[in-house]
Structure formats: C-alpha cells, structure tokens
Structure 1
Amino acid sequence: MRNQTNILLIYTGGTIGMVKDYDSGTLKPFNFKKLLKNIPELAQLDCSIESVSFKKPIDSSNMNPKYWVELATIIEKHYESYDGFVVLHGSDTMSYTASAMSFMLENLSKPVIFTGSQLPIGDLRTDAKENLITSIQIAALRENNKPVIQEVGLYFEYKLYRANRTTKINAEHFEAFASLNYPALAESGVHLKVNEAYLNRSKRTKKFCVHKKLDNNVAVLKIFPGLNKSLLSSILDTEGLKAVVLETYGAGNAPTDEWFLQALDRAIKNGLHIVNVTQCSGGGVSMGQYETSERLEKMQIINGKDITTEAAITKLMYLLGSGVSSKLLKTIFETSLRGEMS
C-alpha cells in the first residue's frame, strides 16, 4: 500500500493568498500554515499538504523572469520529495509564468498546477476555495502509482488547461481564462473528468532538468492600422534586441506597404528573429494563404502557428537563454516542445 500523496503548495503572491480584515476592510496575507483550519474540506483529500511562500509575495503585475527562476528553483529543490506542486499566483500574468515554467521544467513527470482567484479567500462569494481545493485534488491524482497529470497546468473555474495554451480573457468574471486552441485537460463538475487523450505523457527515459537562463531581449509588436515607419524602426532597431513577436491580423496577415516589408526584411538580415502570431484570441497563422502573408513567408519569418503570445514570448526567452544557434532557432521554434502549438 502506497503512502499518502505529498503536495507542495507554493505561494508567489496574488489575490488568492489574501484575506479580508473585517474590522478594517483591508486585505492581508493569508497564513498558509493554518490552511487546514481555514479550509477544513482539504482534510477529505487523501494527501499531505505542505506550503512554502516567496520571501516577499509579489503582485503578479510585478512578475518577471527573475521570479520565474526563483519559482523553478523551489520546484527543483523539492522535486524528489513531493508528488505534485500547486502554484498560487496572481491571475494577471499567470499565463506568462505558467508558460515559462512549461519550458523551464524539461522532462517533467509530475503535475505543476497553477491557480489563483478573482476574489480573496475570505470573501463570502470567493472562487478561491474551489480553485485551491480542486487544484490540490488534481495534483494528487494517481493511476497505477503514477501521476495522472505530468505537465504544467492551469486550473480556474472548473477547468484544467495546458498552461502554455492559456490566455486571460476576463478581468471580472470568475471564468477568467481560456484555451481556445486546445481542449481542457480536465473538467470539474459533480465528478472530476480527466480528458486522457489530451494529456502530455512523460517518456521517463530522460532526467528532469531545470533551465534557469532566460534572455529577455525580446519584444511584442502589435500591428494596427496606422502603424508608422518611425515607430516600427524604433522598435526593430532597439539596441540589443534579439527577437520580436509580431502580432498580425487574422491568419498571419500584415500590410503590404513596401517600407513595412523592407524594414522587416532588413531586420531579419541583421539577425533579428521575428515570430508571426495572430492577434486573434483563437486560431493561428497560416502564412502564404493570402497575398498579405506571402512576402512574410518568403523572408523566412518564423511561423508561430497557433501559439499564444504568452507562450511565444516565453519560448523565445527560453531558447535564446539556452544558447540555441541563430540557424536552428527558426526550426526549433516551429517545433512543439511542450505541447504549446499544434
């Protein structure tokens, strides 16, 4: 008979870790050491839960690669001691952090589940309790003595998504996230239903490895009607810039003005990596389908396919930080590494 499943709760910051002081009305950090006392329902889960917090919890608006490395290091340090991890994070940048983790944690064979909430844990109508309880339950799921989930997931409002497929779509509704190009990995209703066909399964032949070198000399450029030459040049000519995520229209379309195309072509010839992603919430890039994307394809712009902007920017930071050669970067980017693109 197997011992209890051990789950590590990692609090980085965010609304889910706050409780309201009813006397003053202000929010104060929740004491995770008293988790079971405040959420007695957790005792019904057949698992042992321990917690660790960032020394100074941060608002997710202040999240950056330095904190991603700190988070990855915590997971690395405790990887062998725990069966699963639940990361509590502010919702605003959760998709960025969770996407980054998917690339930084190579050969992952245990669940790393991100969750958060729109309302603090002590609020009357909070979504925090359900998100937290179900995230822990998902992280503890086992079949044949192995974790059911073996990848980085994001759980919010009754659905578990592949983390690097998510985008925050709503600032007010409890249903804050969507994964428009990939189905939910699990859904929580009366029963917890896992969609096994959509899971990433670890081929446990390779050792778990954590990548801590990220290169943030990257930018996101959203095309819009009226984008002018000087603005485009000022971004493409930024000193030290190595890669740009170009958010284009529809299926990867962009203006056909000669000055625009020449500026992109010159930047690529000067060694800048440009990734074409769609600004649409769902769907992807299909370069060459229309005349407005034919030239982009010919100048060897990287095809982002159906990747999200969050996954594209973090994948670039990871690849550039890993020292991938300029010649190989296009090929590797266009290959799905962690299920982030179709």
Structure 2
Amino acid sequence: MNKYRSKILLVYTGGTIGMIKDYETGALKAFNFDELLNRIPELSHLDCEIQTVSFETPMDSSNMNPEHWIRIADIIEDSYSDFDGFVVLHGSDTMSYTASAMSFMLENLGKPVIFTGSQLPIGDIRTDAKENLITSIEIASLRKNGRPVIQEVCLYFEYKLYRGNRTTKISADHFQAFASLNFPPLAESGVHLKVNEDQLLRSGRKKFKVHRDLDPSIALVKLFPGINKTAVRAMVMTDDIKAVVIETYGAGNAPTDQWFSDLVKEAVSSGKFLVNVTQCSGGSVMMGHYETSSHLKKAGVISGKNITTEAALTKLMYLLGSGVGPKVFRTIFETSLRGEMD
C-alpha cells in the first residue's frame, strides 16, 4: 500500500521571498514559481505534492489591505477540499497583520495555513528563503492518525513556528524577524522537528467557514508623554470611527489628566469601542491594578489582556464586520476566539 502523500498549495502574494537576483545587473526580478522544483531541488525529497498559485500582480506587503486578505481567504476556500495544507508566501512587513486577520476569517480551520517569507531574496547566496519555505511545506505536510497535525493559522520564520495571531515583527535586519513573546512556539526546527502538541488548537469536526465581512472603521492611538487633547480627539471622536485600539503604558496605564478621562468617557458613551493594549512587546493589560488604569476600567474601556496590537486591530475588523451588538461586544472581544489571548 502506497504511503499517503500530502497535497500542499503554495500561495504567492508577493514579498522578498518571491524575488531572485539577476547577478549581471544586480536587479531583483520576480521568481517563477512554476520552476520551483528546479530552483529548490530539496523539495523533491519531501513526501508531498506541491502546487502553486500566485496573485495576478504580486505585491509588496506594505500595500496589503482587507481586500487582499479576502483574496487569500477565497483561494483557500476554493481549494480547501483538494489540499491538505496551505503555505502562504507573504512580505514580512505586514505578515503578522495578515496572519492575525486570517485566523479570525477562517473559522473551524481543520488544516494548516502557514505564512512565511524571507529577509533576503530566494536566489541570494545567504538567503533565509529556502529554509523558511522548505520547513513550512514540511510542517504543513505533517499528519497524525490520518489528520493534519497543524490545524490553525501559523507563521514560520527562522526555525520557529508561531501561532499567527500571537506574532509581531521585531527586526528589519535579522533573520529572526518575528517574536511571540506571550505564547510559546508551536514547533521548533533543529536537527529534529519538534512539535509542541500541547499548545496546538484543534477544530474538532465543525464545518469550515470563511468570514469575508471586515469593517476597517478603526483607529490606533499610541500614547506618549505630552500627547495632546487635539490629537486624541481627532482620532477617537471622528464620526466614521467605530472602534479604537489605545496602546497604553506598561500594564495598561494612561494619563489621569481630566481632559483624557473625559474624552475616553465621551467616546465610550457615544457607542465607540475602546480597547486597551500594552505598547510593551510582551506582557498583559491589567486594568485597575494601578490608579492610572482604574479610570479606563470605570469608563468601560475593553481589556485587550495580552493580545498583540496586530491581533487587536484585525479582531475588531472581524467583530465589527460580523455585526456583533454593543451588549455583548466587550464580552466577545475579551474572550479568546482563535487562541489570540489568555
């Protein structure tokens, strides 16, 4: 009896990993993924079948927006029954945003969707692209008891597999470009591939569903010493803004100036959803732990707990697009839906 070969769909959206250097001119040009096996013969040793699909016009991830997220979700949904896993090649700059958004858009995911990319082009001598790509495909191919080992949206970079909605890009220069400071890696690649199965999400047998309605009517306010009323009001009280993520200090602390407290109360009273996340790389919001956060809690600000800014923003888009009512909005946001917070 032949051993089962996983079928993996490689989705190229753009980014450095899809570029190759012309050594005669020094210029970068798009890589033809139809020639993947010729360029990376190591892939032929993986026990899987690889097919590729690309965005019509590959893009720099700085131009990524919710419309492109929907395009990725469409590709996955259209191919869901035909493939065992998906590897999405994406520019690193906004990869954490896209991976976070995809985690909310793909409900009851029973197969791996792994985002990866690289800091150097695939044809560069010192590139990290080959290892990231090969290991991402290998992880997407893992099966146990006839089912995929990974059943969630992940991000793989520099020997570590992370839950996608727990990641943040931390470096523009180092190969270790991403971190997940509030949640351990799901897998680590060394001499052996070690999967931390106790940390994995399991969808059960529920029906896979794609959510396409995203509402980007949100704003992000990063507090800093000296921030003024005019700037905060302009971002928080704009009519078209329905929700605001406030990046506070430390464990969720903010100025206790009267103007700031009054503005927060006014925004919440007007029906806007305000979410408190820490601007620290790691750690959690604990509103009420200090006096400088008690006024936010009393005003009805939502606790982001230890969620990343990327996940907070995309979760708001998802909840607003889903039409979640004001009476349950806070409760649902403060509840972990895809393993995005503790």
What TM-score do the two structures reach when normalised by structure 2? 0.99
Consecutive unaligned residues in structure 1, runs of 5 or more: none
Aligned to 1:301: 301
Aligned to 2:268: 268
Aligned to 1:108: 109
2:275 maps to amino acid? V
Q: CA deviation at 1:202?
A: 1.5
Aligned to 2:247: 247
| Cα distance in 2 between the residues matched to 1:153 and 1:235 | 32
What TM-score do the two structures reach when normalised by structure 1? 0.99
**Mapping for residues 167-186 of structure 1, pairs under 5 Å:** 167-186=168-187
Q: CA deviation at 1:300?
A: 1.3
Work out whether residues 89 and 117 of structure 2, in 8 Å CA contact, stay in contact via their aligned partners in 1.
yes
| Cα distance in 2 between the residues matched to 1:139 and 1:199 | 14
| Cα distance in 1 between the residues matched to 2:120 and 2:312 | 29
Q: CA deviation at 1:236?
A: 1.3
1:217 maps to amino acid? S
Residue deviations 1:117-137, cap 9 Å, x none? 000000000000000000000
Aligned to 2:5: 4
| Cα distance in 2 between the residues matched to 1:229 and 1:307 | 26
Identity of aligned residues (%): 69
SS of aligned partner of 2:284: coil
Work out whether residues 219 and 236 of structure 2, in 8 Å CA contact, stay in contact via their aligned partners in 1.
no
Aligned to 1:226: 226
What is the root-mean-square deviation in Å for CA atoms of aligned residues? Answer: 0.6
Q: CA deviation at 1:298?
A: 1.0
| Cα distance in 2 between the residues matched to 1:31 and 1:221 | 41
- Between the two proteins, the alignment pairs up a number of residues equal to 341
Aligned to 1:24: 25
2:184 maps to amino acid? P
Q: CA deviation at 1:24?
A: 1.2
| Cα distance in 1 between the residues matched to 2:297 and 2:239 | 26
Q: CA deviation at 1:20?
A: 0.5
Q: CA deviation at 1:242?
A: 0.3
SS of aligned partner of 1:91: coil
Residue deviations 1:145-167, cap 9 Å, x none? 10000000000000000000000
Residue deviations 1:73-96, cap 9 Å, x none? 000000000000000000000000
Aligned to 1:90: 91
| Cα distance in 2 between the residues matched to 1:203 and 1:247 | 35
1:80 maps to amino acid? S
**Mapping for residues 275-294 of structure 1, pairs under 5 Å:** 275-294=275-294
Which runs of 4 or more aligned residues in structure 1 lie more than 6 Å from their structure 2 counterparts after TM superposition?
none
Aligned to 2:15: 14
SS of aligned partner of 1:109: coil
1:194 maps to amino acid? V
| Cα distance in 1 between the residues matched to 2:280 and 2:237 | 26
Q: CA deviation at 1:239?
A: 2.3
Consecutive unaligned residues in structure 2, runs of 5 or more: none
SS of aligned partner of 2:220: strand
**Mapping for residues 1-342 of structure 1, pairs under 5 Å:** 1=1, 3-204=4-205, 206-342=206-342
1:50 maps to amino acid? Q
1:3 maps to amino acid? Y
2:135 maps to amino acid? T
Q: CA deviation at 1:4?
A: 1.2
Q: CA deviation at 1:3?
A: 3.3
SS of aligned partner of 2:247: strand
| Cα distance in 2 between the residues matched to 1:275 and 1:56 | 35
